[in-house]
Structure 1
């Protein structure tokens, strides 16, 4: 019998449940404790807190997607017990009282035990109390998650520490996604959790159901420009502890592919400094360079041209000259990218057809730059540019490390490293 089939001692419409929910919403721990002490029949009573049983109400309007069979008609019913309720709200005194009266510490009437609930809410004192009373730190919920898998926010660090102290398996996989706690920490950008798990022997290159390592997961999550710093720190920790920067997932995407898709320049630099291969291809034949060019138009706030520049200075293959028109069409609103790519060739024939793929409003916005580009259709590149091309060809993938050591002024170094220019000469 599943948890949803159990008959509750206190159904949803009972007076006790109504008063209990009111007390919980008010965060009134004293009122909750009074109810548990004086009115609940026994400490392991089954309480129904919610019920989305669509089949009980024949006249209830259903979502159109339900009617066409795209959603399951199975209902969700939230069954719980006093220990789970009080642990989920961090009511330590209530938890202590229930444990004193022999509440079943590992009962999970709603699919999660009290320890799951405490950890999910970041209630360290409750988690510690439950563990001291023999709560199973590795108990799997109905959803196939151990308590460590529910430590998904910074305020759950204390719970994670308590779990490991009491024997939680740091490499335990979730049932469905086969994710380790380290995958979870990487997914949520939890720097302290990541360090904690690594210090307790977490497998740094463990793979989940999609063949992703924690490093791959973190690189895929670093999407917002102002929220990338925690993921950068997580990746730095993983790499410091021996993570392989080139482990690909089931689609042959490397961490560098994912960092480039997010135009995460600092993360791209970090990966390349840790021997990430710049010219690898996924199952679709796309390189890291292709990924950043594909996402550049909607990642402008991330300054994607910096990623393009970094890839080229680490030896990325340039795009096929015949595809330049396609890149111009998708990246026209980011002229820095166009200039960097164009300057990576010693010579590239400018086609008059290119003008047709640039939106008029974009051309007007960056008119001096694009005018300088089309002027080169009848003019050879300057000697300075040709010298730059020779030097870059000689240094190859070492441009990023060798050019800064050349005894030349900083502006010359910047020029050799393809810093964006206002005009093309």
Structure 2
């Protein structure tokens, strides 16, 4: 069964709901409907002599609404019906008799769009099916892929957009509804992997924003531009992935960050700035997830980079009350910061520090930011800024141990950070 039943609210339509009108003689439309569903090609060929192949059929739909069984008519093109329910032989028969795969329904969907909207949810993690359920699910998936290949081979436009404000291409639809097997098939048949939708987002932006490593990996393998930015915001796939993983829900659920690691390994620019000057590490510090911050630092993210309003990543970290309790992480960020800025360009302090309960912390940080550093401290911070964490072990081999220790031995700011929580 396709995704339609899952996404429909109130009115649920399931496979087999299209049926003949009870108590009436089977009309041409209902006969054609049954022939398509049964993949009876000889009957389909006979009926197409009387019914134009590109004219819609009127069929009866059974649905439930507020626990009441309702029946109503619905119009659907024969080729859309075959694609929706993955009827391979019927699809081939209709195409051979001149069915137009580009014909659109009232919502602006082509046959390819219809198929993707009703792609089966059959997450399979087995190599070979070993029981009846697995065999059924595997067959459903295989039929869907066969139908997709048939459409592509018969000239379906793999870059045709849906006629609505979202402007999704087939690749965008595949990402939107989690149909991973579709991506490589579409890309292999000429789908533009860097096409943008109505919001100027590429499929990679969408996959990264969903933290879907599998789809992200497939798109990158198919040539997706890892550093492409959304035109109206400047967001890259990396920044969108970090934002998604750094939300409150992302923290509570310990959202998987493997897609972030993948993007960085594939060349994502860690210090790419959006139109407001914010980078991935600004978002990571705002979210307060140490694993993401460490990962970005490993790929040379600049902990001192400023937004257009003069906000450092530490400024973002101090915006949230929950972050102020993470003293160990903040101690690490302080040791990497030079110069220490805890206000923005207008001299405004982070929201978290303005809370009465954190008055001691505010006084300590204001004093620390105004305190001049020693020459040794300045040199240590500059070396760490230039070489970062990535080349830490290289410097250990190149420098005398005493000097290396003076550079990479973090100062303990806990004496200044008098927590009252």
Cα distance, 1:228 vs structure 2: 5.5
Are 1:118 and 2:143 counterparts? Answer: no
2:266 matched residue in structure 1: 241
Could you say what secondary structure the match of 2:196 adopts?
coil
The match for 1:103 among 99, 104, 107 is 99
Alignment correspondent of 1:28: 16
C-alpha distance in 2 between matches for 1:265 and 1:190: 20
Q: CA RMSD in A?
A: 4.6
TM-score (norm 2): 0.62
| Residue number in structure 2 paired with 1:146 | 169
Structure 1 residue 117: deviation in Å? Answer: 2.6
- State the partner residue of 2:230: 208
Rounded to whole Å, the distance in 1 between the matches of 2:297 and 2:328 is 14
CA distance 1:325–1:241, change in 2 (3 Å): closer
Structure number with the higher helix fraction is: 1
Equivalent position to 1:127, from 140, 145, 148: 148
1:335-414 matches, within 5 Å, as: 342=364, 395-396=380-381, 398=384, 401=389
Give the conservation status (yes or no) of the 8 Å contact 1:343–1:418.
no
Matched, 1:184 2:185: no
Question: Match of 2:229, SS?
Answer: coil
Q: Secondary structure at the match of 2:220?
A: helix
Deviation per CA, 1:159-185: give whole Å up to 9, x if none.
1111012121212222x2222221121
Q: Does 1:416 align with 2:376?
A: no
- 1:31, CA displacement in angstroms? 5.4
Aligned match of 2:305? 280
Provide the C-alpha distance between the structure 1 equivalents of 2:326 and 2:79, rounded to a whole number of angstroms: 51
**Aligned to 1:198, which of 194, 202, 220?**
220
CA distance in 2, matches of 1:303, 1:163: 48
Range with bigger deviation, 162-171 or 338-347: 338-347
Give CA deviations for 1:104-156 in whole Å, capped at 9, x if unaligned. 11222331212123224435423233223221111122132210011225841
Counterpart contact for 1:220–1:259, Cα < 8 Å: yes
Aligned-partner Cα distance in 1 for 2:190–2:363 = 54
Instruction: Flag structure 1 segments of 5+ consecutive residues without an equivalent.
Output: 1-22, 50-77, 350-387, 408-412
Q: CA 1:114 to 1:265, structure 2 compared with 1: closer, same or farther past 3 Å?
A: farther
Deviation by residue 1:290-341 (Cα, 9 ceiling, x = unmatched): 22222x23x56x97556534432322524259977964333847x9xx7699
Following superposition, the deviation at residue 252 of structure 1 comes to: 1.9
SS for the counterpart of 1:151 is helix
Count residues with an aligned counterpart.
326
Contact 1:46–1:81 (8 Å) recurs in 2: yes
Residue 370 of structure 1 is matched in structure 2 by none
Q: CA deviation at 1:391?
A: 7.8
Asked if structure 2 preserves the Cα contact closer than 8 Å seen for 1:187 and 1:217, the reply is yes
Q: Using the alignment, how far apart are the partners of 2:301 and 2:363 within structure 1?
A: 21
TM-score under structure 1 length normalisation: 0.61
1:83 corresponds to which residue? 79
Alignment pair present for 1:225 and 2:251: yes
Answer whether contact 2:207 2:216 (CA < 8 A) is retained.
yes
Q: SS at 1:416's partner residue? A: coil
SS at match of 1:160: helix
8 Å CA contact 1:260, 1:307 repeated in 2: no
Structure 1 position 44 matched with structure 2 position 65: no
Once the two structures are TM-superposed, the CA of residue 267 in structure 1 deviates from its matched residue by: 1.8
Deviations 1:202-228 (A, max 9, x none): 111112222222112222222221456
Evaluate the alpha carbon distance shift between residue 289 and residue 131 of structure 1 in structure 2; reply closer, same or farther with a 3 A threshold: same
